A and B are shown apart, each in its own frame.
Chain A
């Protein structure tokens, strides 16, 4: 499906095509690699068949990418990072299998290789495509799909520019003893960079895995950058995956997260999305249920301040019977920030006995802040239980007064009440250290705000 073209978006598209040519000219002898053939296919698709969305596109009604497409993006330069540099971004006291991406490229030197001891495959996709094996068999299917079939132009863009993405395979039956922490660091300086991390994760039958993705900026550079990330997960029969995406990018970051999940029979996918940073944030999260008996739980927290724009799009495709999905997104929008939630659920004709529940609750705390919440249930089966609800509210003034009467400053009382609003979700974060860290990040963000951001309370 070709999207409508506007002069703005064409301009952005042409800049990426030009950037690809520069990149290709610098490749010398590596052009014939399998991976590069796919990249070329992706950029050709972008030049011929597909364009970036405009607000006339229903799924992008509340989010404009015109500003995102403006800067003269460059591929990120190679940078040297020491282990000490990433230390502040680790979960202190938590044992993990650490995989580090710097500017979208997997950095083997900074990553731990203990995962391999458990027969977990961690391989760079480009290298894996050079030889017959599991990586090639799995990755080539997805890469070709992203280059040729997807309607998501940002996934096509990621496919064209991704370098050193990784493929992770958790073998059948393995209950992993510690989380896999995929640490994504942006380290850009002078030029606006387009950062394109790519991950394909397969959870084997009866395996149990926790994946924590974090996205942060190392420097406090004021230069714009654009993180355009793709994560694919395949949950085989009876697999259980807990997937955290904690985004605290720099204030000049554009961030588009494309996460696609495929769930096989009786598998359980639990997603925890936390969005604190970034200038414009868009999460495209979709779960395609490919057999019956699955559970899908999507939880999200978003906190928008200043001029932040945070857009969560979720899509659950119930195509088989006896599947459960449950969504709860909660967020707080202040200042001139904007929030968007669009939860699409399709229950197809054969998906009898589906349970699909969705809730989105927001606090909108200033006159110039706004929240657009749109549940979108399309139900074609007749024996299902589905519900959705959205609320937009403010802080309880009596509670605020009560806390102040005990000595808390207004700012502190507001922070405590905001935190309390999100407790319903932070309590669900099953790893205590992660939960505590997220809570601290929330408090830090709340306490940064000037007192004037709660003008509706005056």
Chain B
């Protein structure tokens, strides 16, 4: 589904990603962990198509297409979803209205007709229930005055209604209490299928107690320096990142 080859990216001349290689197949969940400043969020932004990042080398192929040639909205319509670390508040646009626009934009791209008002409402309410979001939130301005947990749940709701092929969760767990974390994880687990994939970016292991990854990668200085299964995450939780940093410095010393 996704093949990242030797990806280098910089922002304002500062190199952040220094040759990432990663392959994600349908049905897989990949966790990307790493200390602060290792390039985790940059990777998420580059995959989503945020402006301001310069790709200096490498390639990203998504479903056979050159992903880097697509604009952010084209990527979204092609089935890539990024759950934001800091969701934006948009006064004057109700959550329901926003969802309606996004659903119809993606449906139109897929050659489907717009949902009727009744179908739309039913569909949105169904998904809202899945992420345990009260219906009252739907009529409120998007994210405005939402708590941190409510904003993250709203991200998962958007993911649920758009039903993407590839979802990139950018530190969705940050700032969540354990109940909110479970709701978010539960949403992801319900959406998980054989034909879609997830990249879960996180600083902490605890989210991975609820979303079981097939692969865990450690990002450090803009490179994937170690990959393993879920046990790698447990080891990181126990020992921190220092042993990995040491391993690398040992390697580079030789």
- Are A406 and B51 interface neighbours, CB within 8 A? no
B29 proximal to A (CB < 8 A): no
- Are A423 and B48 interface neighbours, CB within 8 A? no
B178 proximal to A (CB < 8 A): no
Contact pick for A408, options B82, B88, B91, B101, CB 8 Å: B101
CA distance A398 to B52 in the complex (A): 12
B106 proximal to A (CB < 8 A): yes
- Are B50 and A401 interface neighbours, CB within 8 A? yes
Within 8 A of B (CB), among A190-217: none
**A402 with B90: in contact, given A408-B73, A416-B101 (CB under 8 Å)?**
yes
- Are A423 and B92 interface neighbours, CB within 8 A? yes
B98 proximal to A (CB < 8 A): yes
- Are B109 and A407 interface neighbours, CB within 8 A? yes
B69-105 to A contact mask, C-beta < 8 Å, 1/0: 0011100110000101001101111000110011001
Contact pick for A420, options B84, B90, B102, B158, CB 8 Å: B90
B41-72 to A contact mask, C-beta < 8 Å, 1/0: 00000001111000000000000000000011
CA distance A424 to B76 in the complex (A): 30
Which of chain B's residues have a CB closer than 8 A to the CB of A412? 101, 105
- Are A402 and B92 interface neighbours, CB within 8 A? no
- Are A406 and B158 interface neighbours, CB within 8 A? yes
**A410 with B84: in contact, given A402-B90, A421-B92, A424-B92 (CB under 8 Å)?**
no
B162 proximal to A (CB < 8 A): yes
Which of chain B's residues have a CB closer than 8 A to the CB of A401? 50-51, 72, 88
A405 proximal to B (CB < 8 A): yes
- Are B76 and A402 interface neighbours, CB within 8 A? no
How far apart are B144's CB and chain A's nearest CB, in angstroms?
A: 11
- Are B90 and A417 interface neighbours, CB within 8 A? yes
Which of chain A's residues have a CB closer than 8 A to the CB of B50? 401, 405
Which of chain A's residues have a CB closer than 8 A to the CB of B71? 404, 410
CA distance A396 to B93 in the complex (A): 13
- Are B76 and A399 interface neighbours, CB within 8 A? no
Contact pick for B72, options A404, A417, A420, CB 8 Å: A404
Which of chain A's residues have a CB closer than 8 A to the CB of B106? 407
- Are A408 and B105 interface neighbours, CB within 8 A? yes
A-B contact number at CB 8 A: 71
- Are A406 and B88 interface neighbours, CB within 8 A? no
A409 proximal to B (CB < 8 A): yes
- Are B73 and A405 interface neighbours, CB within 8 A? yes
Which of chain A's residues have a CB closer than 8 A to the CB of B109? 407
- Are B73 and A410 interface neighbours, CB within 8 A? yes
A386 proximal to B (CB < 8 A): no
A403 proximal to B (CB < 8 A): yes
Q: In this complex, what residue of B is CB-closest to A411? A: B73
How many residues of B are in contact with the other chain, CB < 8 A? 26
How far apart are A75's CB and chain B's nearest CB, in angstroms?
A: 45
A364-401 to B contact mask, C-beta < 8 Å, 1/0: 00000000000000000000000000000000101101
Which of chain A's residues have a CB closer than 8 A to the CB of B72? 401, 404-405
- Are A407 and B73 interface neighbours, CB within 8 A? yes
Which of chain B's residues have a CB closer than 8 A to the CB of A408? 73, 101-102, 105
CA distance A423 to B141 in the complex (A): 11
CA distance A403 to B49 in the complex (A): 13
Which of chain A's residues have a CB closer than 8 A to the CB of B91? 420
- Are A402 and B101 interface neighbours, CB within 8 A? no
Within 8 A of A (CB), among B13-64: 48-51
CA distance A192 to B76 in the complex (A): 50
CA distance A424 to B141 in the complex (A): 12
- Are A407 and B102 interface neighbours, CB within 8 A? yes
CA distance A160 to B72 in the complex (A): 59
User: Which residue, of A396, A399, A405, A419, has the highest number of chain B Cβ atoms within 10 A?
Assistant: A405
- Are A398 and B92 interface neighbours, CB within 8 A? no
**A406 with B162: in contact, given A401-B72, A416-B101 (CB under 8 Å)?**
yes
How far apart are B113's CB and chain A's nearest CB, in angstroms?
A: 16
Q: In this complex, what residue of B is CB-closest to A404? A: B73
CA distance A12 to B88 in the complex (A): 54
User: Which residue, of A403, A417, A419, has the highest number of chain B Cβ atoms within 10 A?
Assistant: A403
- Are B73 and A420 interface neighbours, CB within 8 A? no
CA distance A410 to B105 in the complex (A): 11
CA distance A11 to B162 in the complex (A): 63
How far apart are B81's CB and chain A's nearest CB, in angstroms?
A: 8
- Are A407 and B162 interface neighbours, CB within 8 A? yes
**A416 with B76: in contact, given A398-B88, A403-B98 (CB under 8 Å)?**
no
Q: In this complex, what residue of A is CB-closest to B76? A: A407
How far apart are A305's CB and chain B's nearest CB, in angstroms?
A: 20
CA distance A421 to B92 in the complex (A): 7
User: Which residue, of A406, A408, A416, A420, has the highest number of chain B Cβ atoms within 10 A?
Assistant: A406
How far apart are A316's CB and chain B's nearest CB, in angstroms?
A: 27
Q: In this complex, what residue of A is CB-closest to B87? A: A402
Q: In this complex, what residue of A is CB-closest to B141? A: A420
How far apart are B72's CB and chain A's nearest CB, in angstroms?
A: 5
- Are B73 and A402 interface neighbours, CB within 8 A? no
Which of chain A's residues have a CB closer than 8 A to the CB of B92? 419-421, 423-424
CA distance A417 to B210 in the complex (A): 36
**A416 with B105: in contact, given A404-B73, A405-B73, A405-B82 (CB under 8 Å)?**
no
Q: In this complex, what residue of A is CB-closest to B82? A: A405
Which of chain B's residues have a CB closer than 8 A to the CB of A402? 84, 87-88, 90
- Are B101 and A405 interface neighbours, CB within 8 A? no
- Are B90 and A409 interface neighbours, CB within 8 A? no
- Are B90 and A406 interface neighbours, CB within 8 A? no
Contact pick for A407, options B77, B87, B90, B93, CB 8 Å: B77
Q: Using a CB–CB distance below 8 Å, which chain A residues touch chain B?
A: 396, 398-399, 401-410, 412-413, 416-417, 419-421, 423-424
Q: Using a CB–CB distance below 8 Å, which chain B residues touch chain A?
A: 48-51, 71-73, 76-77, 82, 84, 87-88, 90-93, 97-98, 101-102, 105-106, 109, 158, 162
Can you name 13 extra interface pairs (CB under 8 A) apart from A405-B48, A407-B105, A412-B101? Answer: A401-B88, A402-B84, A402-B88, A402-B90, A403-B101, A406-B162, A407-B76, A407-B109, A408-B102, A408-B105, A409-B105, A410-B71, A412-B105
5 residue pairs, one from A and one from B, having the closest CB atoms: A420-B92, A407-B76, A407-B105, A406-B102, A423-B92
